[in-house]
Amino acid sequence: VKELDEKLTGISSQISDLEEQLEKKSKEIQATKNELKSAKKQEKEQYESMCKRIRFMYENSGMSYLEALLGSDSFADFLNRAEYISRIVSYDRAMLAQYQETKELIANSEIILKKEKEDLESMQGQLQEEKEAVNLLLKEKEKQLLPDHALRNALRRQFALHKKCLPTDILGRFY
């Protein structure tokens, strides 16, 4: 019985640890879901922005960068236009790089979320196994205690039948 009690205590401790880990994992999953939602929103905004930029470039394609440079009135105007074009191209590249980073973040977040969900399911399975182990130990303990309980009840019944015959000083020890 004592050995079973020790096993029950150990398993109960493991169950408590697993429940804490499950709670922590659930919070991590929620945080990853929030991050993924935010990243998808950002991706959509970046995509729409890039589409607007591309549409603008095609709608105003009457003048290319080369035409803008060649249409300069002076060398200073040429340098200003070159700098402006350089900034536009740098901005476009930076926006594309940002968009690609966001796409990678989304892909990584989805992988992490999938793994966290698998971990959560695994932990839930482990918790269920631990609870089943506790139930088995409790049934085993009950089986071990049942004969003692039955014996005690039988002794009490016999004692009740024979208590009239026992001296009062012995009866006082049992009551």
Statement: residue 146 has pLDDT above 80: no
Tell me what pLDDT residue 155 has: 64
DSSP 28-89: HHHHHHHHHHHHHHHHHHHHHHHHHHHHHHHHTTTS-HHHHHHT-SSHHHHHHHHHHHHHHH
**Could you give phi then psi for residue 162, rounded to 5 degrees?**
-105, 5
Rounded-to-integer distance, Cα 84 and Cα 143, Å: 87
Statement: residue 18 has pLDDT above 90: no
Tell me what pLDDT residue 171 has: 47
Write the pLDDT tens digit of every residue in 73-132: 999 999 998 998 899 889 989 999 999 999 999 999 999 999 999 988 998 898 888 888
Statement: residue 14 has pLDDT above 80: yes
Q: Give pTM, 2 decimals.
A: 0.60
Statement: residue 166 has pLDDT above 80: no
The per-residue pLDDT of the chain, averaged, comes to 82
Statement: residue 69 has pLDDT above 60: yes
Distances 72 to 65, 80, 82, 172 between C-alpha atoms, Å:
11, 9, 10, 120
